[in-house]
Amino acid sequence: MQNFLQILVSGISVGMIYGVIAFGYQLTFATSKTLNFGQGEALTLGALVGFSVVTALIGMGASPLLAYLLSLPLVLAFGLAQGSAVEWLGVRQAMKTKSEAGWIMSTIALGIIFKNMAENIWGKDPLKFPSPLPENPISLGGVNIRPMEIAIVLGALAMMLAVELFNRRSIYGKAVVATSNDRDAAGLMGINTSLVITFSYALSSLSAALAGVLVAPVTLTGAQMGAALGLKAFAVAIIGGLSSGLGVVVGGLILGITESLTGFYVDTGYKDVPGLILLLLVLSFKPAGLFGKTAIKKV
């Protein structure tokens, strides 16, 4: 039982990371029906930019926690800029020419370019991200929890909650929802819908960058870190449904927990299998995702 709870805890924190990245997929899918397949690399860059800023600040005498907190606004701003660049360079043209698959190729290509850039700037070897919180676990009822794992869960929830509040409360957020509902009609309201789509890409990369700095202290930081995470988060987005905010959290938790459980009770080598089987099952029986609204296409 103790083991089970312990595994549950680590599954939850990994799952929340998947959830935040998948949330980023949803943001762009809602407004433009396109996705950034370089989302994993957006995470990598966020983590590496964070690494450089944090080590520089520590070098100037800041405590790891202070350095981490000070780096956050920079990392998030970097994410916004990186996402806007992806939309500008890779998606806008493809959408203008109504190309069905152009954005897939161009976002993958941009992802590869970003990964190469990361390898050249930060090297190929994994780096140790200075942990802002004590690395020794605290014991809660016999279960050991690392403080950073709690920070991951809280950070991920705060991010999603902030976007949800923005969408519901502010007129600009409502404009984003309107664009997701009906792009032409939103244009008739005076909403610049191409700007809304750029913004959703910016926000999507921002969530990936945040996921990057959240996960970096508990894993190895490097140019390779994002690829697997981005792909798994894609599975989460499919499992949870691309149209349901709640879906990605639950989908992320399902994947994170099944991975940890399989890794412990079966074999670490098989830990990716149940998630992928789940993905196949969802695609066969509930293609809109466990929580997605089934789209009925009017003919």
Partner 1 sequence: MLKIEKLVAGYGKVQVLHEITIEVPKGKLVTLIGSNGAGKTTTLRAISGMIEPSSGSITLNGTSIAGLPSHEITRLGLAHSPEGRRVFPTLSVTDNLLLGAFPRLTGKRPKGEVEKDMQRMFELFPRLQERREQLAGTLSGGEQQMLAMARALMLNPEVLLLDEPSMGLAPKLVEEVFATIARLKQASITMLLVEQFAAAALDVADFGYVLENGRLAGSGPAAQLKNDPAVRAAYLGAAH
Q: Which two tokens stand for residue 33?
A: 């029906």
**CB of 27 closer than 8 Å to CB of 244:** no
Torsion on CA atoms 36, 38, 41, 43, rounded to nearest 10: 20
Task: With contacts defined by CB under 8 A, name the span among 65-73, 138-146, 181-189, 269-277 that binds partner 1.
Answer: 181-189
| Interacting residues with partner 1 between 188 and 217 (CB under 8 A) | 188-193
Total number of residues shown for the chain:
299
Of the pair 2, 181, the CB lying nearest partner 1 is at 181
Number of residues that bind partner 1 (CB under 8 A): 19
Of the pair 2, 192, the CB lying nearest partner 1 is at 192
**CB of 136 closer than 8 Å to CB of 202:** no
- Alpha-carbon distance 45 to 146, whole Å? 24
Question: Residue 185 interacts with partner 1 (CB under 8 A)?
Answer: yes
Question: Residue 177 interacts with partner 1 (CB under 8 A)?
Answer: yes
Question: Residue 60 interacts with partner 1 (CB under 8 A)?
Answer: no
The alpha carbon of residue 299 and the mean position of all alpha carbons in its chain are separated, in whole angstroms, by: 34
In Å, how far are 12, 118, 150, 159, 211 from 154, measured between CA atoms? 11, 28, 6, 9, 12
- Out of 184, 284, 296, 297, name the contact with partner 1 by CB under 8 A: 184
Residue 194 beta carbon to partner 1: minimum distance, rounded to whole angstroms: 8
DSSP 3-state assignment of 266?
A: coil
Q: Write the binding mask 99 to 118 for partner 1: x where contact by CB under 8 A, - elsewhere.
A: --------------------
- Out of 126, 137, 147, 187, name the contact with partner 1 by CB under 8 A: 187
Residue 299 beta carbon to partner 1: minimum distance, rounded to whole angstroms: 14
Which residues are 143's β-sheet partners?
140
DSSP 3-state assignment of 143?
A: strand
Q: Write the binding mask 155 to 174 for partner 1: x where contact by CB under 8 A, - elsewhere.
A: ----------------xx-x
Of the pair 147, 187, the CB lying nearest partner 1 is at 187
Which residues are CB-contacts of 100 (< 8 A; sequence separation ≥ 6)? Answer: none
Residue 240 beta carbon to partner 1: minimum distance, rounded to whole angstroms: 18
Binding region for partner 1 (CB under 8 A): 171-172, 174-175, 177-178, 180-182, 184-193
